[in-house]
């Protein structure tokens, strides 16, 4: 089994979900008491969040690259950045290490293509919804059209993520707000909606709506499980 490198803490609420999904995936695939081999580095999100709002992405890249190097030194075979937003500096992190980076948009794009989804809505932080590092990758590599909520809706989503979900606060009124936005995206032609912030699935689940949801935390985590155990394990009998 390969060792999965997890660059987490952004926020730790969703990193805990990654850890759970990955270990459940390994257990369910291999059976018994199997669990994942993981090397994790968790950052202090307070500093990252402040740098995001200052627009100092260069410094966030320095901090995360340092963590990625520590993960590689710890024996990881490949790396996950356990957040959607910080894939904005994925290329800088990737350049700092020699192990492969499993990109969250690629894992999501593969799933969308598998299900022949051509037009998808996207919810995430304001950075992910407005900038091109995520949307552009889905369009250019996978031919998927991406639509995002209106600006006022984007502000609402962003606020809930940082002021509630990253702090572990799950509120019914916020769930309804997100569902209204999801249904609005469906009315605009979205065949499905990507939960492109790793905290959103703490609030919104498939049971809440008939619109197909793509939970990037679970998709990314299960792609890591697949990569970690892609070589067949041979059990040698006693001689």
- Catalytic residue positions? 83, 197
Average pLDDT taken over every residue of the chain = 94
Q: Which H or E run includes 194? A: strand 192-195
* Domains in the chain with CATH codes: 4-103+221-228 (3.40.50.1860), 104-215 (3.40.50.1860)
Q: Would the pLDDT of 235 be above 60?
A: no
Q: How far apart are CA 197 and CA 192, in angstroms?
A: 15
Q: What digits encode the pLDDT tens for the residues 111-120?
A: 999 999 999 9
Determine the average pLDDT of the residues in 119-123: 98
Q: What digits encode the pLDDT tens for the residues 139-196?
A: 999 999 999 999 999 999 999 999 999 999 999 999 999 999 999 999 999 999 999 9
Q: What digits encode the pLDDT tens for the residues 17-61?
A: 999 999 999 999 999 999 999 999 999 999 999 999 999 999 999
Q: In terms of DSSP H, where are the helices of 143-238?
A: 151-163, 172-187, 216-228
Q: At residue 79, what are phi and psi to the nearest 5 degrees?
A: -120, 140
pLDDT at res. 196? 95
pLDDT at res. 230? 82
Phi-psi region of 215 (alpha: psi -120 to 50; beta: other; left: phi over 0): beta
CB 137 within 8 A of CB 105: yes
Rounded (5°) CA angle 49-170-181: 85
Say which residue the tokens 């792609």 belong to. Answer: 223
pTM higher than 0.85 for the full model?
yes
pLDDT at res. 233? 39
Q: What digits encode the pLDDT tens for the residues 54-94?
A: 999 999 999 999 999 999 999 999 999 999 999 999 999 99
CB 71 within 8 A of CB 5: yes
């Amino acid at each position: 089994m390969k060792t999965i490198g997890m660059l987490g803490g952004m926020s730790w609420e969703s990193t805990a979900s990654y850890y759970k999904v990955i270990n459940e995936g390994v257990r369910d695939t291999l059976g018994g008491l199997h669990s994942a081999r993981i090397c994790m580095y968790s950052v202090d999100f307070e500093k990252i969040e402040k740098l995001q709002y200052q627009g100092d992405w260069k410094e966030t890249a320095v901090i995360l690259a340092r963590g990625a190097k520590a993960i590689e030194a710890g024996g990881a075979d490949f790396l996950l950045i356990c957040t959607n937003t910080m894939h904005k500096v994925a290329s800088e992190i990737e350049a700092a290490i020699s192990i492969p980076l499993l990109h969250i948009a690629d894992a999501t794009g593969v799933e969308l293509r598998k299900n022949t989804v051509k037009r998808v809505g996207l919810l995430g932080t304001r950075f992910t919804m407005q900038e091109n590092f995520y949307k552009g990758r889905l369009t250019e590599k996978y031919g998927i059209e991406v639509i995002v909520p209106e600006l006022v809706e984007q502000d609402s989503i962003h606020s809930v993520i940082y002021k509630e979900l990253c702090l572990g606060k799950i509120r019914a009124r916020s769930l309804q707000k997100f569902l209204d936005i999801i249904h609005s995206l469906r009315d605009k032609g979205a065949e499905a909606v990507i939960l492109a912030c790793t905290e959103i699935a703490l609030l919104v689940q498939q049971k809440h709506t008939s619109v197909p949801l793509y939970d990037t935390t679970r998709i990314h985590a299960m792609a890591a499980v697949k990569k970690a155990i892609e070589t067949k394990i041979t059990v040698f009998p006693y001689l």
